[in-house]
Structure 1
Amino acid sequence: MSNPGAGVLAVMPLHTISEVYGEAGLRERLLLEIAELPDTTRLAAALDLATDLHRDDRYGREPYLSHLLRVAIRIITYYEVTDPDVVAAGLLHDSVEDHASELAADRPGPTIDAALSTLTDRFGERVADLIAAVTNPQPDPSRDRQAQYREHIATNLDRDPWARVIKLSDFTDNGVGILYAGPAMPKLAAKYRPLTPVYRDLVTRPDTPLAEHVRQHILEQLDRADERFDAILAHD
């Protein structure tokens, strides 16, 4: 289906764009959004890199890039954040976690450190630091993986308010859009359901840099995600 006019895309819910117009519609929506922001050249470069790194990745029944596009669009449109560093980090938030070796290339040192150095060179230290804050650590085989993941979320987001903004968009997209995950839905619902209280706490903290009506919107999204997690787990 051909994309509608810019005016329609600009007001259409993100998962509706995904369902009707797919990745191409989301890409067009993001380009509309970033055209109004400072540093459009760097944001376009972040989009190009995300497209290249995740070109073969899938999330259930959709391209993984659709998730990254929604995360970035949500930060701008619904969270009212116009900081290009935060938007760029939103587009690239899974780049190190999923494609560290490609980013590291031939740089010396540990792969993750080398990947972050590449991002620093291309997008600046703050973008790389934000991505590092939302990148999951390598699993410790001696610990429960989900417990380690929850501890990482709570610790890293406790000390970095802007990283919270990125993870909130990431988490609500995964939660509200969990139906895209296909057969992985029960596993993901079990992983995500214990985390919603953590995110509720983080979004309501005084230093979380979001307007009050945006916080309320996110809390409503977390409610919707919980409803979906509970429905999936009840039938698993």
Structure 2
Amino acid sequence: MRERFRLETEGFDADSRRRLDDALELAARLHRDDRRSREPYLNHLLRVAIRMLHHYQVRDIYVIVAGLLHDAVKDHPAELAELTTAPSGTDLSGTDPTAAALTELADRLGTRVARLVAAVTNPPWDPGRDRHEQYHEHVAASLDRGPWARAIKISDFTDNGVGVIHSVGPEVESSARKYRPLVPVYRDLVTRADTPLSEQVKQHILDQLDLAEERFSAILDQPAHPA
């Protein structure tokens, strides 16, 4: 996957490639012990970025960098916050890890990267509400005001939704129930005039959403087996 990413980015100038390499190494460091089903989690992050480069024709470096790090604040806020340049021995207890992590991203990779990652990072959960319902509301509201964040989130959703068949165990049905209600939300977002993708790319995404819906239906709409 790293080699495919390198090939997709070799046309960028030296400064852009350096930014991308820095983002990739940071993502690899933060997610070094994470796995997704049978593979390193980093492969998921690389697929999200490669999909935007190759299939979505995105050439905005900040969007690709944010794609590589789109789960960093959600999964590793404390570790990312600890990379700050605070003087040695500084007590960071009591600091909001999410805010500190986003500040670190802004300092390292630019405020636009931090804003894009913030747009695709879930807010704190309200334990009194349904977790999936909160997630759906956040996605709809956050992406409504973030056109470029849509490209990141839809690439992430495609990897999760279309790729649900590669999951195993109870996670398969749980993921299908989580993601299925978002298909019409993404259809609406991707076809909006302010979504900064070509019509050809938008149609490709719509085809992928159709495929995801087919797979969700195959998982969730099977008749019950007789006792």
TM-score when scaled to structure 1? Answer: 0.87
Output aligned runs, 1:23-42, within 5 Å. 26-38=1-13, 39-42=16-19
Question: Which whole-Å CA distance do the structure 2 matches of 1:33 and 1:167 have between them?
Answer: 20
SS in 2 for 1:207: coil
C-alpha deviation, 1:180, in angstroms? 2.2
Q: Which deviates more, 212-221 or 179-188?
A: 179-188
1:161-180 aligned at under 5 Å gives the runs: 161-180=147-166
1:208-219 paired onto structure 2 within 5 Å: 208-219=195-206
Higher Rg? 2
Q: Higher mean Cα deviation, 158-167 or 176-185?
A: 176-185
TM-fit CA distance, 1:132 = 0.3
Matched, 1:48 2:25: yes
Alignment of 1:69-88 (within 5 A): 69-88=46-65
State the superposition RMSD in angstroms: 1.2
User: CA deviation digits over 1:46-85, x for unaligned, max 9?
Assistant: 0001111111111112211111000000001000011110
Aligned to 1:21: none
> What secondary structure does 2:174 align onto?
helix
Runs (5+) with no aligned partner, structure 2: 87-91
Letter in 1 for 2:175: L
1:234 CA displacement: 2.7
Question: Of 207, 211, 215, which residue of structure 2 is paired with 1:228?
Answer: 215
The correspondence for 2:140, drawn from 132, 146, 154, is 154
Query: 1:142 Cα shift?
Result: 1.3
TM-score by length of structure 2 reads 0.90
Report sequence identity in percent. Answer: 60
Higher helix share: 1
Instruction: Report 1:50-129 matches (<5 A).
Output: 50-105=27-82, 108=92, 109-129=95-115
> Residue 206 of structure 1 corresponds to which residue in structure 2?
193
Q: Give, as a single letter, the amino acid of the residue that structure 2 aligns with 1:130.
A: L
Q: How many residues align?
A: 211
Shift of residue 141, structure 1, vs aligned partner: 0.5
Aligned residue in 2 for 1:11:
none
